[in-house]
Amino acid sequence: MLYTDVLLAEDFDVLEIQLLENAEVTLDEGPLHQGKADVIRLVAVRT
């Protein structure tokens, strides 16, 4: 399932969003799961 930062911000709008970013990371999680990946990071707290 693909998410966007806009969709996550809308879904979690009742929380205080402290971090919401798009990033490209390099995975190294075993021989068949390596390389670049696009991720969205979300950190939010209840207020």
Question: Would you list the domain boundaries of the chain?
Answer: 5-45
pLDDT at 1: 72
Beta-bridged to residue 7, according to DSSP, are: none
Beta-bridged to residue 24, according to DSSP, are: 38
End-to-end alpha-carbon separation of the chain, Å?
A: 28
pLDDT at 15: 98
pLDDT at 47: 86
pLDDT in tens, 1-47: 789 999 999 999 999 999 999 999 999 999 989 999 999 999 999 98
pTM (two decimals): 0.77
